[in-house]
Structure 1
């Protein structure tokens, strides 16, 4: 038997069915890493088989083929064939085909009544050609991605379903809470920008210097030891150097890149989960589709890309037994440059024109770090919402080299009123045994937005004002239901 679908997964399936019933045939589903995109794919595949129809589930990496088949099996979907080279499960007669895009684009595509494109932000021109063929015009194509923000993706998909946000899944307990520590900014002077992100060659030279602020290995030994860790580096040379520095410091560290054989990668994963490997240094290959039990992320790879940033952080947000939170050691300045993963939201697909409009808008000010307590303050907030500190004009603040400070997600820096109200809602929910979603919805009811990033705050006994506010809402709700209070 498969897993019981979570509320957001059931809601997504209903929205997909409704979109198809409304005549939509190009549907994109946005759901954070760890939200269960493959489970949704398995549910669609199961319904397709039950209806006597066929489906194709495509993946962009060879390593994801067997992983997807295993997940389908766990969900009770066994009648699966594989389209990948000479795979042992090759069987075109089976109604569900799991296909690597690399192999599929070189073969005749089998008939299908549903097509699912996993990790759809990794776009191939083959997909565009396939979707444009007349014989596939009426076949629903369903994209699945945590970050469907690739430029021009809106030209191929006409419907975006936002299944849930990272903050909502953290609040519901489906994703892990996280803490971020960050050093002072690395020196990226002279690093050029290419295709919207840092020039890799320039970046490697800048990040591989021995004099970098906040040495990666020492920081991890101080704060992250005992936590299974993924370290994201700039390129192969940088990643190998980091691995060797960890080994020299007595840390069991492995290295993975795009050329690491599947068998070797699987062996490293087994040792990682057995606790025999403490840190895995990688470059460009552990950002999508891995389900490892990661409790610490090292960001040694600066980026301007929200997609890459969210995918890296997402590797550490899956929940696990005994895992209280994910520790993020940001040696890249990414959080101060981009924001926090709970802040990043897109409500539409990019059709190529929207990005131009966004780039023409003035860029919002970034949060500032409180020099006293290290909280990040919202823009144009002179007093720190956490400790009340107000910097004096022309006051020079000097940070020691290598010193790390904890960052709070942007919503964690909201004015004290919002933080207190959220804590009081949590106390009420805990004592009345309300589900976690009640807190988020009541907060939004009062302030007009979700409590992004506040989930780290502990419950607080509510004030009379808060209790009265909650009571008034319950009375109003009861009246709408025709009940008496």
Structure 2
């Protein structure tokens, strides 16, 4: 395929007429004055296969009144004047569709204007084009609106280049809003303020201590032993973080501090910090610290090297890095009097987990491992101090009983396994199945009132983005979260928690460290062969 990208003035009148004829074949265009509008465009793209023209596209110079009408129709708060160009007049001959022609033309046009913001409108049921736009970094802005050219809805997508967001000369009037959404940072003053606001003591946070949580605290006290780790096993949704924090506060009152809390990632640590400070009025953010974590969720906290904390939070990887524990906790007074290892099933037997265990054993520091897994795959020298299974929590009415609803898609799938779960290539095959993705969204739309607040588990990031675009095009208030979002992820989860969003699509970001009791439905669009992962996902909807 050969692409030709030039300004309209560099094409012949015959070529411009040919371009207009291709656009008319696509329909849904105002024919009157089309040639004039084409001649005023920024760039025109022709795609050829050999000598045959197979597609056209353009970067248009939009009429200011039309541009303002589009943004106003979607309810967008962005300033339309800052979007210099519109991507449009995209047409590929039917026999050459689904071959990457649209994506190639769109990419080529965008590379010519890397310092300008671009918008594009697309029919809400044009799934292939929505997929292309999501792959190129466009995001939907606002709600769908009715086209003035026919009885069909349109959706607006925007692309704001990084250079535009960083350069004050080109910065839009609402640059802060765009920056928070598209180029977020945990180091920003905005995030720092939000962070400390949500960590304030809340007398209405949580619920009264349940009888089994009190039993667990007593059992931990009796079993605590510096010679070997002990395990607290509570099924997903049973409040193991709450139990551990209440036990931690009890030990601090006994003068046993500092306490080191480690977990596999910063979102888990953020959940532990939030639960601790929001339920205990005497503890303040200044009394806790972090080991590592610069530029992460807990960035606003003081680094432990700058001053001690009653509780120190760190990831397993950071704590286990050579020399960290020995350097930071080098004196008997500074060493932790207790180590809490959250989600210990993720790494207690691994190399880093064994290193941390040896360090605890050397200085006779008790360790408590927290887990919600159905089975405890740990060494025999660990002692389960207390266990409350998921089934017991459901039977006693503390958790809702899951009601399984099987939906047949009639799609053939022969997955390969990698370790204890399905291979990424097999999950990618499902993610790319557009028929299945449309069935997912249609299923939700058909039962929207019954399903209510819904959490969707996607196969991978591309799958999450595509499902998000499909839900949006269907008029659903939806958010998407995945590992590459940074600070923006917390904003989306916050909106889902408070009810601004009805659906949240995620890629393994909501399997732990999140407590949203009013989730009514779980869409398991990401199949798993792992019993651990399955229980984590199901548990999000049983609070």
Asked if these proteins are the same fold (TM beyond 0.5), I'd say yes
Q: Deviations over 1:55-82 (max 9, x none)?
A: 2111222123333222111332614222
Cα contact 2:482–2:506 (8 A) shared by 1: yes
Cα offset for 1:298?
Answer: 0.3
Match of 1:130 among 356, 359, 383: 356
2:536 and 2:530 map into 1 onto residues whose CA distance is 10
Whole-Å separation in 2 of the counterparts to 1:9 and 1:24: 25
Cα distance between partner residues in 2 of 1:186 and 1:120: 39
- Alpha-carbon separation, structure 2, partners of 1:134 and 1:288: 26
Q: Deviations over 1:253-290 (max 9, x none)?
A: 2211111112x112112221332212111112211111
Give a deviation string over 1:437-481, Cα, whole Å, max 9, x none. xxxxxxxxxxxxxxxxxxxxxxxxxxxxxxxxxxxxxxxxxxxxx
Change (3 A) 1:172 1:134: closer
Rg comparison, structure with higher value = 2
Asked whether the 8 Å contact 1:31–1:163 carries over to 2, the reply is yes
Please give the residue correspondences for 1:107-256 in structure 2 after superposition, counting only pairs within 5 Å.
107-108=324-325, 109-110=328-329, 111-123=335-347, 125-133=351-359, 136=362, 138-147=364-373, 149=375, 151=377, 153-154=378-379, 157-184=381-408, 187=411, 189-212=413-436, 215-225=439-449, 227-256=452-481
Residue 78 (structure 2) aligns with: none
Aligned equivalent of 1:36: 239
The runs of 5 or more residues in structure 2 that have no matched partner are 1-202, 330-334
Query: In the aligned structure 1, how far is the partner of 2:277 from the partner of 2:270?
Result: 10
1:89 to 301, 304, 315: 301
8 Å CA contact 1:183–1:214 kept in 2: the answer is no
Aligned 8 A contact 1:121 1:148 in 2: no
Give the C-alpha shift of residue 199 in structure 1. 1.1
SS at match of 2:221: helix
SS in 1 for 2:262: strand
Given that 2:457 and 2:526 are in contact with CA atoms closer than 8 Å, whether structure 1 keeps it comes out as yes
1:285 aligns with 2:521: no
More strand by share: 2
Aligned equivalent of 2:104: none
Range with bigger deviation, 26-35 or 164-173: 164-173
223 and 7 in structure 1: CA distance in 2 versus 1, 3 angstrom threshold: same
The separation in 2 between residues aligned to 1:59 and 1:172, in whole angstroms, is 29
Instruction: Identify which range, 278-287 or 183-192, moves more after superposition.
Output: 183-192
Would the alpha carbon gap of residues 210 and 159 (structure 1) be closer, same or farther in structure 2, given more than 3 Å must change? Answer: same
CA deviation vs aligned residue, 1:180-229 (integer Å, no higher than 9, x gap): 21123764543211112211212221353234499111111222446111
Match of 1:328 in 2: none
* Matching residue of 1:275: 499
Q: Distance in 2 between matches of 1:239 and 1:172?
A: 35
What's the CA shift string for 1:117-139, capped at 9, x where partnerless? 11112215322111123754632
Residue 230 of structure 2 is aligned to residue 13 of structure 1: no
On the 8 A contact 2:402/2:538 being kept in 1, the answer is no
1:70-469 counterparts in 2 under 5 A? 70-76=274-280, 78=283, 79-86=287-294, 87-90=299-302, 91=304, 92-106=307-321, 107-108=324-325, 109-110=328-329, 111-123=335-347, 125-133=351-359, 136=362, 138-147=364-373, 149=375, 151=377, 153-154=378-379, 157-184=381-408, 187=411, 189-212=413-436, 215-225=439-449, 227-262=452-487, 264-292=488-516, 293-318=518-543
8 Å Cα contact 1:28-1:161 kept in structure 2:
yes
Q: Give the Cα separation in 1 of the matches to 2:229 and 2:496.
A: 39
- Cα distance in 1 for partners of 2:474, 2:360 equals 60
Distance 2:538 2:408 in 1: 20
Q: Which residue of 1 aligns with 2:230?
A: 27
Query: What are the ranges of 5 or more consecutive residues in structure 1 without an aligned counterpart?
Result: 319-485
Provide, for residues 325-384 of structure 1, a one-character-per-residue CA deviation record: whole Å limited to 9, x for no partner. Answer: xxxxxxxxxxxxxxxxxxxxxxxxxxxxxxxxxxxxxxxxxxxxxxxxxxxxxxxxxxxx
User: 1:59, 1:118 within 8 Å by CA — same for their partners in 2?
Assistant: yes
Distance 1:119 1:275, change over 3 A: same
> TM-score, normalised on structure 2?
0.53
TM-score normalised by length of structure 1 = 0.59
Query: Could you say if the C-alpha distance between residues 214 and 24 of structure 1 is closer, same or farther in structure 2, counting changes exceeding 3 Å?
Result: farther
Q: What is the distance in 2 between the residues matched to 1:188 and 1:137?
A: 56
Equivalent of 1:53 in 256, 264, 272? 256
Query: Is the contact between residue 121 and residue 149 of structure 1 (CA under 8 Å) also seen in structure 2?
Result: no
Task: Name the SS of the counterpart of 2:231 in structure 1.
Answer: strand
- Once superposed, what is the RMSD of the aligned Cα atoms? 2.6
CA distance in 2, matches of 1:134, 1:140: 7
Report the CA distance shift for 1:40/1:126 in structure 2 as closer, same or farther (over 3 A): same
